[in-house]
Copies of this chain bind each other. A is one copy, B any other.
Amino acid sequence: MTAQVRPSSPRRQEEPVRQENLRTINLELVFRHIVSAAGPISRTELATATGLTRPTITRIAEELLAGQLITEAGLPHNGRAGRPRVGLTLSERGPAGLGLDIRADGLAACVVDLTGTVRHLAFDPATYAGRGAPDVLAHLARMARAAIDAIAAEDLTVVTATLAVPGPVQGGVVHSAPELGWRDVDTTALLRGAVHPLDIPITVDNEANLAALGELYAGDNALDSFVYVSGGLGIGAGIVLDGHLMRGARGWSGQLGHVTVYPDGNPCPCGSRGCLQTYASLQAVLGDRPAPAGTTPDAAATGRAEAGEPATIAALDTAGTALGIALADMLNILDIDTVLLGGSFALLASWITANARAEIDRRVLTAAWAPITLRPALLGPDAAVIGAALTSIDQIRRHPTTWLARRPAPA
């Protein structure tokens, strides 16, 4: 036979293991065990769990304690005589992660510590009418500075920031965010160039992706594959598979709002017809009566649904059916069995879930033998900003040595 097939190749050349990086690898291994422990864990338990020697554990623990990554905490008495047992647990001081979110109804900032606890959460209602991107991002940079200063008083140092934006983004540039009126906005450059510049590493990601990560961290660890669907003026989805966000080849995955529901249906601003967005966005639910001044679109839609307005109920029936058809496509393609409804879909879940579920059960091939779960998300409107902050702190959780190398000298 001919040699027509080329051998596979590794996608990434790894580092060899030498004495120097052996130290890093084992420190990060021990730290990950402390991160994933349910509570304080003793040095002896760490030695057993990692297979490392007790002296190695002791040395690594000293380094982590000095770097404010962990702290000592009492362990329950084991019934034997002797000194009280002391365990190691994540520090509530030291490095912190900042999250920022540009929402349809305002700006949000959040700081979490290493334990994943929210230590600061600020929301500033704002409308974007007539405000350009530089103005909005300068405002957000001020909120970031206020958060960093507030949290410094609690002995927390914000190390990195993650910004959530409502649209596809690449390298900090938002390609298109119609609800903000943005096209090709370099958010990182604007945050760095603001009067109060944000001068720490900044990652920018789609809000549905970050909200999905928020749900992943906040929720039950057993749930490690799900689709988070973000409803609102736009519709997006964050895909979590085996505990990892599936961002796609260029970070633009989850454009659920532009999945075709009815090929010859409503025209969409994107240039296509029949996109989910034209049936299930907040505009579609509100119809030709936008939210009155001083009321958010979310609140207007929920209020009309609760009042049982026939036009709104009919629009929600249509939205639920369209959402179910689009979600069924997504689940057939991805093979994921859990959908979390977020944003406006969480608020309107009572009115849309039945129709959406009927379409999913009928259209997902595997639903016949493996049922699909469809339920509201846990975190509410703060999911994306909390997910953003957790994404920031997660970099330290995964690579604590980068923090140890650059942390400020102890006072």
Indicate if the CB atoms of B249 and A337 lie closer than 8 Å: yes
A16 and B364 CA atoms in complex are apart in Å by 42
Q: A115-B7, A249-B337 are in contact. Are A13 and B1 (CB under 8 A)?
A: no
Asked if A271 CB lies within 8 Å of chain B CBs, one says yes
Residue numbers in B under 8 Å from A246 (CB-CB): 241, 246, 334
Of residues 217 through 272 on chain A, the ones whose CB sits less than 8 Å from some CB of chain B are 217-219, 221, 224-225, 237, 239, 241-244, 246-256, 258-263, 270-272
Asked if A336 CB lies within 8 Å of chain B CBs, one says yes
Indicate if the CB atoms of A337 and B6 lie closer than 8 Å: no
Indicate if the CB atoms of A1 and B115 lie closer than 8 Å: no
Q: A10-B35, A243-B11, A368-B271 are in contact. Are A251 and B335 (CB under 8 A)?
A: yes
Indicate if the CB atoms of B335 and A252 lie closer than 8 Å: yes
Indicate if the CB atoms of A336 and B249 lie closer than 8 Å: yes
| Interface-located stretch among A45-53, A158-166, A194-202, A403-411 | A45-53
Indicate if the CB atoms of B10 and A332 lie closer than 8 Å: no
Q: Which residues of A contact B (CB under 8 A)?
A: 1-11, 13-18, 22, 25-26, 29, 32-33, 35-36, 49-52, 90, 112, 114-121, 168, 175, 214, 216-219, 221, 224-225, 237, 239, 241-244, 246-256, 258-263, 270-272, 275, 325-326, 328-330, 332-337, 362-366, 368-370, 386, 390, 394, 397
Pairs across A and B, CB under 8 Å, 15 listed: A5-B112, A5-B118, A9-B32, A11-B243, A13-B49, A16-B26, A16-B29, A16-B50, A175-B366, A237-B333, A241-B246, A248-B334, A250-B337, A259-B332, A271-B368
